[in-house]
Amino acid sequence: MSLDINKIRADFPILNQKIYGKDYIYLDNGATTQKPQQVIDVVSHFYQHSNSNIHRGVHYLSEQATLAYEGVRKKIQTFIHAEHEHEIIFTKGTTDSINLVAFSFGERYVKEGDEVIISAMEHHSNIVPWQMLCERKNAKLKVIPFDKSGELELDKIDALFTKKTRILAITHISNSMGTINPIKEIIRKAHQANVPVLIDGAQSIQHLKIDVQDLDCDFFAFSGHKIYAETGIGVLYAKEKYLNEMPPYQGGGDMVDKVSFEKTTYLGAPFKFEAGTPNYVGAISLGSAIDYLLEIGLENIAEYESELLKYATEKLLAIEELTIYGTAKKKSAIISFLIKNIHHYDTGMILDKMGIAVRTGTHCTQPVMDVLCVTGTVRASFAFYNTKNDVDKLVEGVLRVKKMFD
Ligand code: PMP
């Protein structure tokens, strides 16, 4: 089935405006996605008619808000096929989810001399929390390298596992190169070595069907704002057995059973990990974004985006002296590139003046840039509301930049 792009684009009001008097071409979806009117309407309706703090009141709207919030937890359980509803923890986003695991899992399972494995293509969010843990515990961080095409060197993974390895944290899709990592195979290898795995799903949840039981991952983190919902809401999926063992990450209201100055006891998961008033409106927007996506169909989205990636890759590669960074066999619709020796900021700024929004810089993956021997790249990242016309406009813009510097 092909997507009805005109209908889809009409759902995203932000796309239908002029920037500097030009049609707006939004190609920074890796950073955040735009919101369909349906999600905006749900949030607006909630504030107009239903707002009340959850889990606290016996009054009507509080109960309705609680039901709506808990309903989204159930929806996410189904969406990623988790075994239990209480394995879904609401967080602020991917970064918050990873920090929760690095702290709480770290407190419970990591001690001096232990090891944590990540990869060389991680976002800073999946590097720094582990580094902080390693510093706290005097543990060691080990890194899986990737090759020139941006594919992980899988043959090197086995040698990294030792009896001291406590966790492997790895991204599903590289946000700077687009590589789709073979996470199912990596998880299998890790489990053979008795090592649990955290998947950073910030760039995959909006593009691929996720089944956490089929993957058998132990933790899966994602952000609402990258899947067409609001900012400030995210999810941590974690297997029940870890949630039962891990201590709370933060203390406060809503996560406690009994509080006294002598001793406080905690609720079980998920509430143990959701201290304070959560972003319940964000959660409701996430539920609405998932409904929207399911209506279009994740398979249809994946098929459409991979067509777009193929088209954009061919068009960009046809430009002389343009290099694409990240040429893995399996890629998501993310293209990092440079035009000969033109600085990425210059390219990005000129494209901006043409109404084209791309990302420039290191994309929070400085170690990736070190391996690629560049100071940064220009990144075009696509969503299902982008079109071949957007790609043509990008190509036109790139040719113009090139001409300006010739
Ligand atoms: N991991 C990856 C792969 C990402 O692309 C991002 C966002 N750029 C993050 C983690 C962090 O996500 P957030 O800022 O929403 O917490």
Domain co-membership, 285 together with 302: no
The dihedral through the CA atoms of 385, 387, 389, 392 has a sign that is positive
Domain co-membership, 271 together with 349: no
Structural domain including 100 reads: 40-294
Domain co-membership, 180 together with 323: no
Most informative mutation of 95, 227, 379 for ligand 1 (most atoms within 8 A of CB): 95
Any residues with Cβ below 6 Å from ligand 1, and which?
93-95, 123, 125-126, 171, 175, 200, 202-203, 223, 364
Q: Give the ligand 1 atom nearest the CA of 122.
A: 3
Most informative mutation of 203, 205, 279, 381 for ligand 1 (most atoms within 8 A of CB): 203
Distance 223 CA to ligand 1 centre (A): 7
- The answer to whether residue 169 sits within a structural domain is yes
pLDDT of residue 1: 57
- 132-151 per-position pLDDT tens digit: 999 999 999 999 999 999 99
Distance 202 CA to ligand 1 centre (A): 5
- The answer to whether residue 154 sits within a structural domain is yes
pLDDT of residue 187: 98
Which of 254, 270, 294 is the C-terminal boundary of a domain?
294
Contact 240, 117 (CB under 8 A): no
- 234-246 per-position pLDDT tens digit: 999 999 999 999 9
Residue 2 pLDDT more than 80? no
Cα–Cα distance measured from residue 131 to residue 140, given in angstroms and rounded to the nearest whole number: 8
CATH code for the domain in which residue 391 is found:
3.90.1150.10
Domain co-membership, 215 together with 331: no
Give the model's confidence band at 156: pLDDT under 50 very low, under 70 low, under 90 confident, else very high. Answer: very high
- 33-76 per-position pLDDT tens digit: 999 999 999 999 999 999 999 987 789 999 999 999 999 999 99
Domain co-membership, 153 together with 253: yes
Domain co-membership, 170 together with 277: yes
Which of 238, 268, 294 is the C-terminal boundary of a domain?
294
Q: Which amino acid is at 96?
A: D
Domain co-membership, 207 together with 279: yes
Distance 221 CA to ligand 1 centre (A): 9
pTM of this structure = 0.98
Domain co-membership, 317 together with 219: no
Cα–Cα distance measured from residue 186 to residue 33, given in angstroms and rounded to the nearest whole number: 28
Give the model's confidence band at 307: pLDDT under 50 very low, under 70 low, under 90 confident, else very high. Answer: very high
Least Cα distance to 24 among 356, 348, 359, 351 occurs for 356
pLDDT of residue 253: 92
Residue 275 pLDDT more than 60? yes
Domain co-membership, 132 together with 255: yes
Domain co-membership, 102 together with 170: yes
CATH code for the domain in which residue 227 is found:
3.40.640.10
- 218-228 per-position pLDDT tens digit: 999 999 999 99
- The answer to whether residue 26 sits within a structural domain is yes
Q: Which amino acid is at 368?
A: V
Residues tagged active-site? 364
Q: Give the ligand 1 atom nearest the CA of 125.
A: 10
Domain co-membership, 322 together with 181: no
Q: Give the ligand 1 atom nearest the CA of 225.
A: 15
Most informative mutation of 175, 199, 362 for ligand 1 (most atoms within 8 A of CB): 175
Residue 85 pLDDT more than 60? yes
- The answer to whether residue 54 sits within a structural domain is yes
Pick the residue whose CA is nearest to atom 5 on ligand 1: 175
Which of 246, 270, 294 is the C-terminal boundary of a domain?
294
Domain co-membership, 235 together with 115: yes
| Structural domain total, the chain | 2
Q: What is the mean pLDDT of residues 155-168?
A: 97
pLDDT of residue 224: 98
Distance 386 CA to ligand 1 centre (A): 21
- Residue 336 CA, chain-centre distance (Å), reads 17
Distance 62 CA to ligand 1 centre (A): 32
What is the chain's mean pLDDT, rounded?
A: 97
